[in-house]
């Protein structure tokens, strides 16, 4: 079962680009990489999912190198409302997600 | 799309009573639903996985007789906390998945349980 490692916390300022990197050395061939955002007392919210190279949607980009042993979530021009915990998970969607500690992003004015 | 609801959003009960939490996928049929528990300032802990029409699979350390899971249809799963005690007070979150290789989990808003 692939385990993920992320920084415990990060600080940023409004308007900056934030990159959160996750390592997953034991990722399996069938595993996808999924990122979630969680605000206090709410369920996690899906941000983005990818398998390889780069994926972009209206809120974020996900960069995955060729060896897929890590991935980077990129949030462009963060605002105060992006202050949350961000979780990186790997799995093949038939299996279970085991949440790591996540990265607590603190966006300052 | 991919909306998951939970009911109730919060509940307070006396020790020894049972509490039922509903999880519904509103706009899709979920092959698989998952139940998580989250204590303050901690990450989500997977409790069990349920597939429609079959028995739930519980994670190690989770008592199946205490946390009863019923997945009666492709849009509804219920978690019943039986004989609740104060240590069961937590934030319970469900998720639902279509189950296909490119389908991820979508989470409900969570249910806050406080056992007095």
Please state, in angstroms and rounded to a whole number, the distance separating the CA atoms of residues B5 and B76.
Answer: 10
CB count in 10 Å sphere of residue A60: 19
**B48 in contact with A at a CB cutoff of 8 Å?**
no
Peptide bond into B11 cis (omega under 30): no
Q: Which residue of B has its CA nearest to A97?
A: B46
Q: What's chain B's average pLDDT?
A: 91
pLDDT band at A2 (very low <50, low <70, confident <90, very high): low
Task: Give the pLDDT confidence of A22-73 residue by residue, as tens digits.
Answer: 999 988 888 889 999 999 999 999 999 999 999 999 999 999 999 999 999 9
CB count in 10 Å sphere of residue B22: 16
pLDDT band at B102 (very low <50, low <70, confident <90, very high): low
Q: Of A53-57, B72-76, B95-99, where does mean pLDDT reach its minimum?
A: B95-99
What per-residue confidence (pLDDT) applies to A107? 97
Residue A50, class by beta-carbon neighbours within 10 Å (0-12 exposed, 13-18 middle, 19+ buried)?
A: buried
Q: What's chain A's average pLDDT?
A: 91
What per-residue confidence (pLDDT) applies to A26? 87
B7 contacts on A by Cβ (under 8 Å): none
Please state, in angstroms and rounded to a whole number, the distance separating the CA atoms of residues B37 and B28.
Answer: 23
> What's the per-residue H, E or C state across B12-40?
EECCCCCEEEEEEECCCCCCEEEEEEECC
CB contact under 8 A, B112 and A41: yes
Distances (CA, A) of A41 to A14, A54, A87, B26, B40: 23, 31, 15, 21, 9
Please state, in angstroms and rounded to a whole number, the distance separating the CA atoms of residues B77 and B94.
Answer: 9
Task: Say yes or no to pLDDT of A93 above 60.
Answer: no
Task: Say yes or no to pLDDT of B103 above 70.
Answer: no
Give the whole-number percent of chain B exceeding pLDDT 90.
74
- Name which of B3, B9, B44 to mutate to probe chain A: the one with the most chain A Cβ atoms within 10 A of its Cβ: B44
Task: Say yes or no to pLDDT of B101 above 80.
Answer: no
Task: Give the pLDDT confidence of B16-51 residue by residue, as tens digits.
Answer: 999 999 999 998 888 889 999 999 989 999 999 888
What per-residue confidence (pLDDT) applies to B110? 97
Task: Say yes or no to pLDDT of A96 above 80.
Answer: no
Please state, in angstroms and rounded to a whole number, the distance separating the CA atoms of residues A67 and A59.
Answer: 25
**B21 in contact with A at a CB cutoff of 8 Å?**
no
> What's the per-residue H, E or C state across chain A?
CCCCECCCEEEEECCCCEEEEEECCCCCCCCEEEEEEECCCCCCEEEEEECCEEEECCCCEEEECCCCCEEEEEECCCCHHHCEEEEEEEECCCCCCCCCCCEEEEEEC
């Amino acid at each position: 079962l692939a385990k993920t490692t992320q920084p415990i916390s990060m600080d940023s300022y409004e308007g900056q680009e934030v990159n959160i990197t996750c390592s997953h050395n034991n990722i399996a061939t069938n595993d996808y990489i999924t990122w979630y955002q969680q605000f206090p007392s709410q369920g996690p919210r899906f941000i983005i999912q990818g398998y390889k190279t780069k994926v972009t949607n209206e809120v974020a980009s996900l960069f995955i190198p060729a060896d897929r042993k890590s991935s980077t979530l990129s949030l462009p021009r963060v605002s105060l409302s992006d202050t949350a915990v961000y979780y990186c998970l790997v799995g093949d969607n038939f299996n279970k997600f085991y949440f790591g500690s996540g990265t607590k992003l603190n966006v300052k004015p | 799309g991919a909306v998951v609801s939970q009911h109730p959003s919060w509940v307070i009960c006396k020790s020894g009573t049972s509490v039922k939490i509903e999880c519904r996928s509103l706009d899709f049929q979920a092959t698989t639903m998952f139940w998580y528990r989250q204590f303050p300032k901690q990450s989500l802990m997977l409790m069990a996985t349920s597939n429609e029409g079959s028995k739930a699979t519980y994670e190690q350390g989770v008592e199946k007789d205490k946390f009863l899971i019923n997945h009666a249809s492709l849009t509804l799963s219920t978690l019943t906390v039986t004989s609740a005690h104060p240590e069961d007070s937590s934030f319970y979150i469900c998720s639902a998945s279509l189950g296909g290789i490119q389908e991820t989990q979508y989470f409900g808003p969570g249910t806050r349980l406080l056992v007095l």
